[in-house]
Amino acid sequence: MNMSEIRYRLAKPCDAKQIADCHWHVRDRYHQGIFLSLGKPFLRKYYEVILNDPNEVMVCAEHNTLGIVGFSNATLDAKEQAKRIKKHAVSLGLSAAISLFLNPSLIKSVWQRYRSLSNKGPQFVHVDGVRSEYWCWMKEAGDGFQSMEMNQTFKNVLYDLGVREMYAEVDKFNKHVYKYFTAKKNIEVLEEITLPDGRERAFLLEHIERKDN
C-alpha cells in the first residue's frame, strides 16, 4: 500500500463507527478479552462515549479509500474516564444485551470489570493517571511499518501535551506484543498478575519519548 494513501489525524466523535469496525477486525488475532466478546454494537457505543470525553487522545490512520484502518488511543485521566463509563453504564449495557443474552457467562466478567472501576474487586487496568488503551491496525492496510509510524505520531501528540509517563497493560499470551513492549528500554514492568479468567497480565509504565517519523 502506498504510504501517500494514508494520513494520520486526531479522531473525532463522528469517527466512532469506523473506529469500532477497525477494533472489531482485530478479533482474528486477539480474540480474548471482554470487549470483543460483547459485540460490535457495544464497541460502537463505547467509542461514542469515550470520543466525547475531553480527556481522550486518539490518533487514527485514514486511508483515502478504505477509511480508518488503524488507531492508537489513551486517556489523560483514567479516574475521570471510569466515572464517565459508569455514568453511561445503562446505555453501554443495553448495547451489549444481545451478546449477554446469547452468552450469560459474560455477565460475571462484566460485573467484575464494572466494580473494578471503583477499585472494588480484581484490578484489570490502571485506574489513575494517563493510561494507554488500544493500538489497532487492520492487516488489510499493509505491513506494520505504518502502524508503528502511526503509534509514534500518537506518542508525539502526548509528548506535546506534556505527558512524560503513561501506564499500560499487556496480556502475556499475546507473545509478540508482550515481547515488543517488555524489550523496550523506556518501558518498565511494574507488576504481573493473573486475571479471574486465567490470563496473565503485565502492568507497565512507559516513559514517553518524542521521535520524528
CA distance 153 to 150: 5
Say if 160 falls within a structural domain.
yes
Please report the sign of the dihedral spanned by the C-alpha atoms of residue 61, residue 16, residue 42, residue 194. positive
Note whether residue 212 is domain-resident. no
Residue 213 belongs to a domain: no
Contacts of 20 (CB under 8 A, 6+ apart): 40, 43, 44, 46, 47
Q: Look over the chain and give the mean of its residue pLDDT values, rounded to a whole number.
A: 90
pLDDT at 111: 87
- According to the model, what pLDDT value does residue 131 have? 97
pLDDT, tens only, 77-117: 999 999 999 999 999 999 999 999 998 988 988 888 888 88
CA–CA distance, 133 with 139 (Å, rounded to integer)? 19
- Sequence-ordered list of residues with C-beta below 8 angstroms from that of 44, at least 6 positions apart, any chain: 16, 17, 20, 95
Domain that holds residue 13: 3-207
Answer yes or no: is 72 within a domain. yes
Is there a domain that residue 100 lies in?
A: yes
Q: How many domains does the chain have?
A: 1
Does a structural domain hold residue 185? Answer: yes
**CATH number of the domain residue 107 falls in:** 3.40.630.30
Max Cα–Cα distance, the chain, nearest Å: 48
